[in-house]
Structures are given as structure tokens and as C-alpha cells.
Amino acid sequence: MVSIIVPCYKQAHFLDVSLASVLEQTYQNWECIIVNDGSPDDTEEIALQWCKKDVRFKYVFKENGGLSSARNSGIKTATGTYILPLDADDLLHEDYLTKLVPVLDSNESIGIVSCYTAIFINNSSNVIDELKPKGNNVKNLLYQNQLVATSLYRKSLWTVVGGYDEAMKNGFEDWEFWISTTKLGSSYAIIPEFLFFYRKAKKSMLVNTIKNHFEDNKEYIIKKHKELYIKDFENFTSVMFYQLRTYRNEGAKLKNTLSFKISKKIASPFVALKKMIKS
């Protein structure tokens, strides 16, 4: 049994398409738990319609608590051996489970299995980018999240680490979860096929995370798993200073652009006025 967990908050308008991709799976032994995370839209109405359509769909309501909390709530009620998180606006290829489940069935040392991701706008045929993750262990996850949130994993891993970190309300909770699970010794595998479709939106949790919370979240992960970064200290310092130099160079390039210089000229009277008001 695979338990597919679909948290939904203000994404009811995408929910039908996402759940249709679950129903179309060629692998039949699944349940799909739709978690309404206190959403103010018609998530409940749509979810209950799917529950009537197929008994494998189940519905859970909870007060709003964020993505980690919603996933944990759904997994607590799950009966499957394997867990697959699926955001309410994303899609699965019809052979997703057929291709990924046998990897976990055949090798106990593998705790997580993922695949290539196609990033699309509006519909899954309009692919604008691709993700091809690499590696197979925790070292490959320390500086870049190689695994999308929609990766199949053993429920026993979720139990051992205590679920998703509910303190991480601003994203990267999946990255931290992968580090927590793989540092215990289990590896991950990648199926080199595009079996997952990620919807790119102008406004999304990921966009907000990268724009406003990237450094804070990364600092949280490093401090929480500091023993891993201390053990990898030489590489850690190289990566950190490389990123610092990259940011500085990008900042210098920006200051030399014509648009930045024009903006600075336009803003200068207002800056002077602000200083006068303060004084």
C-alpha cells in the first residue's frame, strides 16, 4: 500500500487536476489522503466529491498549521508502507508508482526513491525547465536539495525522525526531512525518467521561501545538523565562501548596470529629503 498525502491550502482550483493524476495511476494499491489545512476556499467540497468517486480517497480537516503540520496529520492516519507527499497543484505521470514502488520493494537499504521532474506553466505539456537530481546519500544533500518533496519513501523513516519539522513554516521542510532520514544511513535512488510535473507559479511557497527566507532556513538546517557540516568542514567552508564571493560579484555587476544608475539618480532627492526629516 502507498499512502499519497495531499495537503491543500488555498489551492482548491488546482485540486481536481492533481487528484485526477492520482486516480490515473497504473499501480492500483494506493490510498490518497486529502488534508484540508484550514483552507478558506472550497477545498472540502471538492475533496468530498472525490471521496464519493473512489473509496481510496480520504479526507482530513485540521486547523491551519502550515505544510509540515498538514503532512504530518495526513501521515498519522496513513495505512500504507510507503508515503508519497503530493502538493495540490502538482501532477504525477500515470506510471509514477509503477516505476518507483519496485525500487523500494527490491532493496531494503534504499529508503527514498525519486525521479526527474518537469517544471511546467499552466498545463503539463508546457514544460519550461527540468530537474535531474544526482547522488544517493546524505553528503549529496548537504548543500543542495537533490530531492523534490514528491518523492516516495518508507513510512518507517518518518516514524524514526518524528515527522516533518513543524517549526519550519517558511519552506525547506522537505530538504531538512531528507537530511534527517538519510543521515541515519539509508540511501536514495533516482529513476532517470520524467514522472513528476511541478507547477511553476508567480506566487508560491517556494518563490516566497527563496525570496524572503532562504538564508534563515539554510542557517536553521545547518545548525540543526551541525555534526554533518563539522565533519565536512573543509568542503563546508569552500562552499560558503564560494557563495559569498558569488553574491558579492553579482552585487557589483548590478551596481554597474544602467538601470541601477538611473534608479539611483531618481531616488537621490528622496534619500536627501529623508535625511533632512530625520535630522
List the chain domain ranges: 2-202, 233-278
pLDDT single digits (tens) 91-116: 999 999 999 999 999 999 999 999 99
| Nine cell digits for residue 118 | 518537469
pLDDT single digits (tens) 21-60: 999 999 999 999 999 999 999 999 999 999 999 999 999 9
Q: Give rounded-to-5 percent helix, strand, coil for the chain.
A: 50, 20, 30
CATH architecture classification, 2-202: Alpha-Beta Complex (3.90)
Mean pLDDT for all residues in the chain: 90
* In contact, 73 and 59? CB cutoff 8 Å: no
Q: How many CA atoms lie within 13 A of 274 on its CB side?
A: 5
pLDDT score at 249? 75
Taking alpha carbons only, the member of 159, 174, 153 closest to residue 110 is 153
Residues 170-182 have a mean pLDDT of: 96
| Nine cell digits for residue 9 | 491550502
pLDDT at 204 over 60: no
The Cα-based distances of 118 to 65, 90, 92, 186, 235 in angstroms read 29, 10, 10, 26, 30
| Nine cell digits for residue 33 | 489522503
Which letter does DSSP use for residue 183 in this model? Answer: T
